[in-house]
């Protein structure tokens, strides 16, 4: 069985944060950690999540500023920006700075988030499989080279 992704939720609305957490757990999409502030999340970024569900407006911090920090530390972390308002400017800015997607908190948000997490997980698994294939290919090539060298050596 494949490893479940590590998903961090950064949401200052505890009710909505728990809804997200429960939906992820119910669908067995990953291991979840919840943070109610941007500061608490940044203090735990060293745990290197695979996916971050990041509220746009976190009071003292803006989601886009946190997104920039995440991407400067590890560009492979996928970030989905969440916002209670449909603002095209925020969506464009989020995508410009590396967000995987922008989701408006509405009646369809949970289904969309579940779909995005599944898609990101699938992409991450493909990337991991390719890395393992490259390592196996290098190992196999080295093994073949070693066998050829041993065969040449044995002829002398």
Which DSSP string do the residues of 9-23 spell out, in sequence order? EE-S-HHHHHHHHHH
| Dihedral sign of CA atoms 66, 78, 103, 101 in order | positive
The whole-number average pLDDT for the span 3-12 is 94
Per-residue model confidence as pLDDT tens digits over 96-123: 999 999 999 999 999 999 999 999 999 9
Q: What are 79's strand-pairing partners?
A: 52
- Cα distances from 33 to residues 7, 17, 38, 44, in angstroms, run 6, 10, 13, 10
pLDDT number for residue 139: 81
Q: How confident is the model at residue 147 (pLDDT cuts 50, 70, 90)?
A: confident
Q: How confident is the model at residue 2 (pLDDT cuts 50, 70, 90)?
A: low
The mean predicted confidence, pLDDT, of the chain is: 90
Per-residue model confidence as pLDDT tens digits over 11-26: 999 999 999 999 999 9
Measured CA to CA, the distance from residue 55 to residue 76 in angstroms comes to 19
pLDDT number for residue 6: 96
**CATH number of the domain at 6-127, please?**
3.40.50.2300
Q: How confident is the model at residue 1 (pLDDT cuts 50, 70, 90)?
A: very low
């Amino acid at each position: 069985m494949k490893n479940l992704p590590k998903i961090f939720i950064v949401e200052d609305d505890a009710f909505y944060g728990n809804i997200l957490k429960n939906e992820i757990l119910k669908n067995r999409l990953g291991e979840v950690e919840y943070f109610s502030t941007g500061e608490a999340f940044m203090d735990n970024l060293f745990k290197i999540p695979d996916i971050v569900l990041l509220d746009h407006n976190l009071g003292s911090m803006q989601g886009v500023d946190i997104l920039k920090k995440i991407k400067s530390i590890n560009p492979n972390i996928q970030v989905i920006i969440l916002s209670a308002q449909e603002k095209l400017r925020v969506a464009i800015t989020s995508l410009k700075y590396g967000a995987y997607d922008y989701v408006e908190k509405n009646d369809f948000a949970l289904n969309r988030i579940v779909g995005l997490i599944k898609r990101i997980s699938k992409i991450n698994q493909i990337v991991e499989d390719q890395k393992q294939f490259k390592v196996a290919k290098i190992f196999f090539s080295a093994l073949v080279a070693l066998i050829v060298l041993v065969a040449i050596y044995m002829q002398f």
